[in-house]
Structure 1
């Protein structure tokens, strides 16, 4: 338990630092903003209304602000009367700044310690919303199709591997489809599913399935099929090899010689002996399902955990870290579940000297 706890904490810490790697690459001045003002005000008045700022170049409308506070000062300056536009001051070319990365990490850690887990701008009403307020809804929305899709992938892959081993002709067809799907990227498969939904809708002449999120209406079938399809390909390959290995064992030959049918051998003996192989591949399949979920949510515009990370409309640095750690935590919960199942159902043997 100590080892698993240490590994979980270490993983979350690594995810936290990696989720902030975007702060390492700086393309704008971290301590300056450019303000376009009207004739009714001046740069000196602007600096007076923004405590901590100073005029750097009055003609160009550039103000200096505390290091790393550009976004906060831009938001405040936009609310001042007489201001037309406020933006950051771009650099000639992006640079790698460990100073800015360290500053942002310290700011986030300080915020986390004080209960501030970040805000994001809602894509619906453009308001700033605390991440913790919307997080339960995002988790529920994602799990609505993630858990059923993963369960379908497990059941479908086990069934197809058994069917392919029982009917050799069908096995050749399924193996050929498996080879084809292994070579296709996830994004391409999702686009094919979306195109299929669009063409079916046009052919039938009325609405069939939702392709992108519209308000509170969330697509189900496309992310569900995506999550089910990609892990199925991985699990099927492992289960097919495991069944072929077991069919070559002596106990199978003995069972067939005693009069048991091939179906009885597969269902009563082989299936029981490949449980360990299934539980071994499930952690990898779950990780693939999470990655497929993120891609599907991004393509379908779904405001879930994966869509939150990828969509530039709702991103903010601190909330990005929290969502990434939440995805890692979900993956670790499934890994822990698989470890408990291995301990419960897999019999381990060893030599005693």
Structure 2
């Protein structure tokens, strides 16, 4: 029970940290958060604007400068523009960008208030240009992302296990795969995705007809590019860990004994070694899953996919208050996978402890 309490506390602290870090951009200010400049027509004066904008007061009637409640400048700007007789409403720029802990605290406080009332933020749809509640958009984004994330992660696990076993059976194959793994470790995610995209473009030119969707077009979402990215990048990490684990086990006494009794190298790998390195696989899977999520975000951004990762990176889908909701959602997904791996380790890994009498 105490261990579960510690894990729950750690999870809560992690989510709070993600929420606070996802709002770090609110700390940097380039405009006055409590001032608004309004230009009105001849038949309108600032007194009418003060009635429309509660809590505001005129600073300079001649220049149309208003003081509004702290942090309400952007909200009141939209309200002013929708008011009859207003020609223009703009925020007041600062002489130089500043770091404002006050505005950061104000933004976090307002978001928490919204969450408590069921308001998780909005984002502007790039096609309809309408404000959409992020609570309605997250399930669609999650479904779109999982269509290639889950199969890609499963393929990464299977591919890395088969590659590590093949490398252990054949020395030349092992040298080739080790060199390929060392090469892929140093290749940035975006470079690999661009290479896959270029491959699709050249394949289309060579064959003379459509082969592979490179970017999202309407409701048509690319599958192969994010799928391959998610499968290849984590598999490099899993392969490296599994390769070292197999080499470690192949030097153990039970392997030497099994080979001396006439078992083939393949039989020893499948019947004994593979079972004993499962703990290493389950230990590296949390890190591999995190890499898969990062690769997914990069792939969605490059391919213009409106999934969870694409929403975070692309400015087309970002809202004022919805960013932290997506980041917390990704954090919850990561934690869910970590819990799954912990349960698998508890279920399949047998631990023996020697107690002193």
| TM-score scaled by length of structure 1 | 0.96
Q: Separation in 1 of the partners of 2:291 and 2:26?
A: 27
CA spacing shift, 1:156–1:54, aligned 2, 3 Å: same
Matched, 1:50 2:87: no
CA spacing shift, 1:171–1:36, aligned 2, 3 Å: farther
Which of residues 233, 236, 239 in structure 2 aligns to 1:233?
236
What is the CA-CA distance between 1:126 and the residue it aligns to?
0.8
What is the CA-CA distance between 1:121 and the residue it aligns to?
1.0
What is the CA-CA distance between 1:40 and the residue it aligns to?
5.4
Q: Separation in 1 of the partners of 2:95 and 2:103?
A: 17
Which of residues 156, 169, 172 in structure 2 aligns to 1:169?
172
SS in 1 for 2:97: strand
Matched, 1:29 2:52: no
Matched, 1:181 2:184: yes
Farther off after superposition, 101-110 or 47-56: 47-56
1:268 is matched with: 271
Which of residues 78, 96, 99 in structure 2 aligns to 1:93?
96
Contact 1:20-1:317 within 8 A present in 2 as well: no
2:323 is matched with: 320
Once the two structures are superposed, what CA deviation does each residue of 1:314-351 show, in whole Å capped at 9, x if it has no partner? 22243111111110000000000000000111111111
1:107 is matched with: 110
CA spacing shift, 1:54–1:179, aligned 2, 3 Å: same
Over the aligned positions, Cα root-mean-square deviation in angstroms equals 1.6
SS in 2 for 1:105: helix
SS in 1 for 2:172: helix
Once the two structures are superposed, what CA deviation does each residue of 1:156-181 show, in whole Å capped at 9, x if it has no partner? 00000101111111111111111111
Unaligned runs of 5+ in 1: none
Farther off after superposition, 71-80 or 242-251: 71-80
Q: How does 1:191-230 map to 2 (within 5 A)?
A: 191-230=194-233
Once the two structures are superposed, what CA deviation does each residue of 1:123-156 show, in whole Å capped at 9, x if it has no partner? 1101111111111101101111110110000000
What is the CA-CA distance between 1:52 and the residue it aligns to?
2.7
1:347 is matched with: 350
Contact 1:35-1:86 within 8 A present in 2 as well: yes
Once the two structures are superposed, what CA deviation does each residue of 1:185-223 show, in whole Å capped at 9, x if it has no partner? 111111111121122122222221111112111111111
| TM-score scaled by length of structure 2 | 0.94
Contact 1:117-1:319 within 8 A present in 2 as well: yes
SS in 1 for 2:322: helix
Contact 2:297-2:310 within 8 A present in 1 as well: yes
2:161 is matched with: 158
Q: Separation in 2 of the partners of 1:59 and 1:214?
A: 50
Q: Separation in 2 of the partners of 1:107 and 1:331?
A: 26
CA spacing shift, 1:200–1:73, aligned 2, 3 Å: same
Farther off after superposition, 255-264 or 2-11: 2-11
2:77 is matched with: 74
What is the CA-CA distance between 1:251 and the residue it aligns to?
1.0
Farther off after superposition, 3-12 or 151-160: 3-12
Which of residues 262, 269, 286 in structure 1 aligns to 2:289?
286
Once the two structures are superposed, what CA deviation does each residue of 1:239-265 show, in whole Å capped at 9, x if it has no partner? 011011111111111111111111111
1:132 is matched with: 135
SS in 2 for 1:95: strand
Once the two structures are superposed, what CA deviation does each residue of 1:25-80 show, in whole Å capped at 9, x if it has no partner? 11111111233445554444434433333333445443222111122112222222
Matched, 1:277 2:280: yes
Contact 2:123-2:320 within 8 A present in 1 as well: no
CA spacing shift, 1:237–1:78, aligned 2, 3 Å: same
Q: Separation in 2 of the partners of 1:85 and 1:337?
A: 55
CA spacing shift, 1:166–1:54, aligned 2, 3 Å: same
Farther off after superposition, 72-81 or 14-23: 72-81
CA spacing shift, 1:85–1:197, aligned 2, 3 Å: farther
Unaligned runs of 5+ in 2: none
CA spacing shift, 1:103–1:226, aligned 2, 3 Å: same
